[in-house]
Amino acid sequence: MNEQLPFKRLNGIPASKEDVRNRREHVKRIVIAHPNYSDLLTEIEEVHYYSKGSVKPDSLFLSGEAGVGKSTLLEDYTSRFPRDIVNNNTVIPVLYSTLPVGATPKTVAARLLYSLGDPAYDKGTEISQTSRLLNFIKKCKVELIIIDEFQHLLDRDTKHILNKASEWVKSFCDEAGVPIILCGFPESKKIFKFNSQLDRRFLTKLSMEGFRYYTKEEQIEFRAFLKSIDEQLPFIDRSSLASKQLADKFFYATNGIPSHVNKILYEATGLAAKSGNDSIDENHLYDAFNKIEFTTRPFVTNPFTVKNFNIVEAFELEKLRSKDAN
Ligand SMILES: Nc1ncnc2c1ncn2[C@@H]1O[C@H](COP(=O)(O)OP(=O)(O)O)[C@@H](O)[C@H]1O
Ligand SMILES: [Mg+2]
């Protein structure tokens, strides 16, 4: 039982619309400090801390496939250093920003200015925007800059490097005078290959990965992740997500990608609350899974409610079906 949560026992009475919404929003915000997450958080802390007042601040590059939790981690870190107003001056210890799709020097500078809170973010020439940006960074006492969606330095269709923007980012990193964390999909490593000066500045390259499930240790880790989530679900009773059978099914359904786990639980939470349940059961998971389209896995089958589910066979069957189709 979880009495700390603000969610009442439903006892078979369907939750109101507002209650359903609150419960689902709660699920969206669940963040678990799993081992890979905590390790990376420590790395970021170190870069931040040891670069203070350094003549040559360290920087790092973080890569990972979509949905593994990169932005969640970076936004979590940023939120630990809230903005403040000191003597009429806004202090922004950690600046989190993203690169815009189809990045150009002007749109990148504007995006960073916008993240700082400059109402005139898109005004002025590239040069004046850049100098305004560097000024604000000093004035707002920015200590660390995080730039997410680094893969937007690649053209969306051709995957060619957007050279002007990547040159701009390189100069900006040199001139900002504070450590910078760049973050993006693994494919964005290509940018470093073609921009050796940028590469030299980002020698530390870390990666974030989804969960794995081959070894005993890996299975324990994934089940611990599910257990922590289960403890935070917006229901009075727990849902046994970490049982061996359900964990196998969750791994098969999600390939260990946190965003997929979250999506299934988000949908299942809505279904369970609407039917007045005080925990999520396998029928909710079954229906939730069917609501989601897994575009990258056209041959995945719904593992929930399957009796004596065998994860190895399920993955093999999926492979066979995709072979047959090709
Ligand atoms: N540490 C975590 N604990 C629980 N859920 C997570 C965690 N990291 C990510 N998620 C879930 O995955 C979703 C996608 O994460 P996100 O940070 O946007 O991934 P990325 O930036 O790597 O594409 C999040 O909205 C959240 O629901
Ligand atoms: Mg992201």
308: left (phi over 0), alpha (psi -120 to 50) or beta: left
Please choose from 262, 263, 264, 266 the residue to mutate so as to test ligand 1's pocket, defined by most ligand atoms within 8 A of CB.
262
Closest Cα to atom 26, ligand 1: which residue?
Answer: 259
Q: Ligand 1 atom closest to Cα of 66?
A: 23
Distance 314 CA to ligand 1 centre (A): 25
The set of residues, in sequence order, having a beta carbon less than 8 Å from that of 85 and lying 6+ positions away, is 91
The model's pTM: 0.94
Stronger pLDDT, 3 or 311, i.e. the higher one: 311
Q: Ligand 1 atom closest to Cα of 65?
A: 22
pLDDT value of residue 53: 78
If one counts every other C-beta atom within 10 angstroms of the C-beta of residue 252, the result is 24
User: Which tens digits make up the pLDDT trace of 148-188?
Assistant: 999 999 999 999 999 999 999 999 999 999 999 999 999 99
Does ligand 1 have an atom closer than 6 angstroms to the CB of 38? no
C-beta separation of 242 from 227 below 8 A: yes
User: Which tens digits make up the pLDDT trace of 9-67?
Assistant: 999 999 999 999 999 999 999 999 999 999 999 999 999 998 887 778 889 999 999 99
Q: Residue 282: which pLDDT band, with cuts at 50, 70 and 90?
A: very high
Closest Cα to atom 9, ligand 1: which residue?
Answer: 69
Mean pLDDT, the chain, whole residue set:
95
Distance 300 CA to ligand 1 centre (A): 22
Domains of the chain as residue ranges with CATH: 17-30+211-325 (no CATH), 35-207 (3.40.50.300)
Q: Is the pLDDT of residue 3 over 80?
A: no
Closest Cα to atom 5, ligand 1: which residue?
Answer: 31
User: Which tens digits make up the pLDDT trace of 220-275?
Assistant: 999 999 999 999 999 999 999 999 999 999 999 999 999 999 999 999 999 999 99
Q: Residue 127: which pLDDT band, with cuts at 50, 70 and 90?
A: very high
Q: Ligand 1 atom closest to Cα of 208?
A: 22
Cross-strand partners of 180: 145
